[in-house]
Amino acid sequence: MLDRNPMNGPTVSKKDTQQPYPGTDDAMHRKADHGEESYQGCGKLTGLAAVITGGDSGIGRAVAIAFAKEGADVAIGYLSEQEDVDAQETRRHVEAAGRRCLVHRFDVRSQSACREFVDLAAKEFGRLDILVNNAAYQMEQQGIEELTEEQIDRTFRTNIFGYIYMAQAALKHLKEGGCIINTGSVTALEGNPGLIDYSATKGAIHNFTLTLAQVVSEKGIRVNAVAPGPVWTPLIPATMSPEKVATFGEDTMWKRPAQPIELATSYVFLASADARYISGEILAVTGKGGTR
């Protein structure tokens, strides 16, 4: 069961150094808490079906596990150039919760691949109720001069094009009461000099969330976003210098990064009937305050 005291969360392991992008949970020295043992569901999503991009590790894995423990079947998509060790581990935890899990390797930068994944999930489960846009690309640079055309293109195609493609595909299946949850970022609220292109895409995601919520409101579909602060995921040792990894999260009130499960609870809330009057909102879970 999750501890109510935020001071009791684990800090970053100084033994975690850089991994090849995008990193894996399996290779992390300090294992993240995805709710495998700490999260207890209470049937908030019973009988529903969800699609989660970037669902093999980090926040995506925690959301998949929490959704399953709340009674939802889950389809997780993950980057095609990764090994599937993390994805299979996520599947194991979803199935241990008694729910079905579809694992699909694909690239969100492809509109047709997004459509194929969503259609496959809807066919497998016979319905689609929730889309979680969570896949992301980031790579730290020291200044705008260092941003290459290739990096800018990849960041925008992954972080915003992919979100639009997935929403287009999901809206063919979502019915009244359905919802879309996008993963934004504290960088969209505060900026980040080392993540200029990434911060720009996250700002676009926040505005996309607000605008899409207005577009689909007449269909009874809600659209919201969660804006995480620092979270202990494989992206951190895969995209930051060892020096920054060692101090990651120390600028929060709790002097540590969040664990993925500490974000997943917000996704559960936004996906559930508890949030049925909430749409077009950015829920900031940053550990900092004053970011909205």
Catalytic residues: 198
CB within 8 Å of 143: residues ≥ 6 apart: 193
Residue at token pair 């669902």 = 55
Q: Taking Cα atoms as reference points, which of 244, 248, 213 lies closest to residue 32? A: 248
Please state, as a whole number, how many other Cβ atoms lie within 10 Å of the Cβ of residue 273: 9
Rounded to 5°, angle at Cα 54 from 148 and 7: 100
Report d(CA 257, CA 11) in Å as an integer: 7
Q: What sign results for the dihedral spanned by CA atoms 67, 118, 232, 161? A: negative
Q: What's the Cα-to-Cα distance from 155 to each of 132, 147, 195, 199, 228, rounded to whole Å?
A: 18, 11, 10, 10, 18
Residue at token pair 């992206």 = 235
Element (H, E) at 90: helix 85-96
Instruction: Compute CA 15 distance to the chain's CA centroid, rounded to the nearest angstrom.
Output: 25
Q: Is 58 left (phi over 0), alpha (psi -120 to 50) or beta?
A: left
- 3-state SS, residue 254: coil
